[in-house]
Amino acid sequence: MKYFFFFVLILSSCQDYNSNSGDKGRYGPVELNESDPNFSKAYFILQDRCVSCHDHKHDRWAEFKSNADWVADGLVITGQPATSELIVRIVNNGQVSSNMPPSGGSLPDAEYNALVKWVTEIP
Amino acid sequence: MKYILLLLTLFSVNAYSYSNFIGHGYTSCLNCHFNPFGGGPLNDYGRVVSATAISSTALTPKSWDEEKVAYMSGFLFRKPKQEWLRTQVNYRGFRVVRNPGSSENEEAKWINMQLDGRVILKFGENDKFISVLNYGYAPLPSETPKGTKSSEWRSREHYVGYRFTPKFGLYAGLMDKVFGIKVIEHIAFSRVSPQVTQNDQVHGVTAHYIGQDWELGAQGFVGNLSQDADLRMKGGSVMLEKTVFGIHRIGASVMSSQNEYLKLLSYSAHTRLNLKEGSSILAELGQTNKKTENGSDDTTARFGLLQTYLRPWRGLYFLANIEYFNRDIKQDDYTLRWGPGVQYFLSQRIELRADVYDTRSFATKSSTRDSWMYLLQTHLWF
């Protein structure tokens, strides 16, 4: 019996965090509080590119599931991508202060343009 | 010398600890490690090789000959008195400094990356049956969400193995996935992209076959059983390595795995070149196709690794590391990470290492600024 408990102890003491620990949040079903098709596209780009840092360390971007959430946080100014901090900070913007994402690849132009289109056309 | 010769006689194939030790002529992991694909506890032969071939003699008393050095490589600084039990302690920690010199963004901290206690039971001729438990501390990754209740003390490995013949063995339990070159840098793109980092062990069954000039591994796994069932990556992998020109290795790996949210298919080709006198080149090129359940991602990433190890004299290795990563091969964007390093085995049981990394991403019309980081690492084992 003591060997059985030892075996159970070993199995129960494994690490339960690894590369897949966040898969449910990153890749599982998502219910957005927004019907704007531009937003749903932007949401997945932001999830993929930004949320791994901008969720627990700094802020709660994973919870921003509507246009109103982003506007209320001040990161996005409706119709003004050139002055929206979210857009300005992206390295593709070309400004000296732009440094996001800090590593792991800048945004492909298609993704950057999708974000700009979203902010520009927020209803 | 007779102790060394006895150990060498007991084993029929060469061995290495790190992948780059092919530069010492050791092509296969099997005889230096209990795990035939490397990592985890060293066996008696591995400890002797580490003491007598890898480590510097800078701190070795001049009165010691190589036989004495080999004798002292045991856990209690002597040859074990019994054959069935081995114990080891392993520590790895480093100071990491990101953006050094930046008044705004410099970030420096000491990370205790690994503290493992290892117990190995072994029985039979040539350690035919082994049982390995590797339990210890590893910090939660920095990106772990606050409130996560995971313990930082856990089993890194636990498995049993049986070698039906010296050439063929089966292993079952929690082990590393069998894929590609197992470099020590767990942030390497070639480890992150196929998800074979330091915390990605899985429960499964692994078969290992070593022929005259080739080696084959096949693994079926059901994921990490400590995780929720929906997160467990289930799948399998195969890796084949062949010795070429007597001293080099070429290999290929393929791995398929999936949980309820993610499907991965990774494949790579690699080579380990023996430049002799302890120097070597490691190279790997591969791709990972990722498909997600919610449709947010259906991309193929490409990764590359090139490492050189130059050994001017015993104990010292000069490194150069170049990595490439393109997270979506349909796009032109890519990231390069490169930098020099130095690895010094000051004596048996003591490894010191310094690495510099510069990471920079390139897009079609722009690029990020250089992102510098350096590591000062201490690795101790007993």
Express each pLDDT in A67-117 by its tens digit: 998 999 888 999 999 889 888 888 666 665 666 776 655 677 888 899 999
- Asked if A14's CB is within 8 angstroms of B155's CB, the reply is yes
- Mean pLDDT over B164-175 rounds to 96
Give the relative orientation of helices A109-120 and A37-49 as an angle to the nearest 10 degrees: 130
- Mean pLDDT over B6-13 rounds to 39
- Mean pLDDT over B206-228 rounds to 95
The region of weakest confidence among B134-148, B184-198, B300-314 is B134-148
- Reported pTM: 0.84
Q: Which of B259, B262, B363 sits opposite A106 (nearest CB)?
A: B363
What whole-number percentage of chain B has pLDDT above 70?
A: 92
Q: Is B138 helix (H, G, I), strand (E, B) or coil?
A: coil
| Residue-by-residue DSSP string for A54-87 | TTTTS--GGG--SHHHHHHHTS--TT-GGG-HHH
Residue A21 tokens, joined: 């620990």
Rounded to a whole number of angstroms, the distance from the CA of A43 to the nearest CA of chain B is 10
Is B245 inside a domain boundary? no
Rounded Cα distance between B304 and B326, Å, is 9
Chain B residues 193-232 within an 8 A CB cutoff of chain A:
195, 197, 199-201, 224-227, 230-232
Is B53 inside a domain boundary? yes
A65 by Cβ neighbours in 10 Å (0-12 / 13-18 / 19+) ranks as middle
Residue for token pair 């050791």: B26
Residue B338 contacts A where some CB pair is shorter than 8 Å: no
Query: Taking a C-beta distance cutoff of 8 angstroms, is the pair B190, B286 a contact?
Result: yes
The region of weakest confidence among A81-95, B97-111, B183-197 is A81-95
pLDDT of amino acid A64: 85
Nearest CA in chain B to A44: B296
- Mean pLDDT over B364-369 rounds to 68
Number of domains in chain B: 1
ipTM for the predicted complex comes to 0.85
Rounded Cα distance between B370 and A37, Å, is 36
Residue B233 contacts A where some CB pair is shorter than 8 Å: yes
A55 by Cβ neighbours in 10 Å (0-12 / 13-18 / 19+) ranks as buried
- Produce one character per residue of A13-49: b if its CB has 16 or more CB atoms within 10 Å, e if not: ebbbbbbbbbbbebbbebeeebebebbebbbbbbbbb
Beta bridge partners of B244: B248
**Residue B354 confidence class, pLDDT cut points 50, 70, 90:** very high
Collect all residues with Cβ–Cβ distance below 8 Å to B372 and sequence separation of at least 6: B98, B99, B100, B101, B356, B357, B358
pLDDT tens-digit map of B269-290 = 999 999 988 999 999 999 999 9
Is B235 inside a domain boundary? no
Closest listed residue to residue B163, CA positions, set B208, B121, B197, B97: B208
Query: Taking a C-beta distance cutoff of 8 angstroms, is the pair A15, B224 a contact?
Result: yes
Pairwise pLDDT comparison (B248 vs A6), residue with the higher score = B248
Q: What is the largest CA-CA distance in chain B?
A: 67
- Asked if A105's CB is within 8 angstroms of B154's CB, the reply is no
**Residue A5 confidence class, pLDDT cut points 50, 70, 90:** low
Is B261 inside a domain boundary? no
Q: Given a cut of 80, is residue B255 above it in pLDDT?
A: yes
DSSP structure class, residue A14: B
pLDDT of amino acid B313: 94
Please report residues of B whose CB lies closer than 8 A to that of A94. 365-366
Output the average pLDDT for chain B: 89
**Residue B297 confidence class, pLDDT cut points 50, 70, 90:** confident
pLDDT of amino acid B16: 35
Q: Given a cut of 80, is residue A1 above it in pLDDT?
A: no
Rounded Cα distance between B144 and B372, Å, is 23
Is B267 inside a domain boundary? no
Owning domain of residue B339: 2-198+273-287+296-381
Is B251 inside a domain boundary? no
Is B14 inside a domain boundary? yes
Chain B residues 92-151 within an 8 A CB cutoff of chain A:
133, 135, 138, 140-146, 148, 150-151
Query: Is-cis flag, bond preceding A101, omega within 30?
Result: yes
Please report residues of A whose CB lies closer than 8 A to that of B369. 99
Please report residues of A whose CB lies closer than 8 A to that of B258. none
Is B170 inside a domain boundary? yes
Residue B270 tokens, joined: 């690699």
Please report residues of B whose CB lies closer than 8 A to that of A97. none
Rounded Cα distance between B172 and B34, Å, is 13
Please report residues of B whose CB lies closer than 8 A to that of A63. none
Bridge pairing between strands B107-123 and B316-326? unpaired
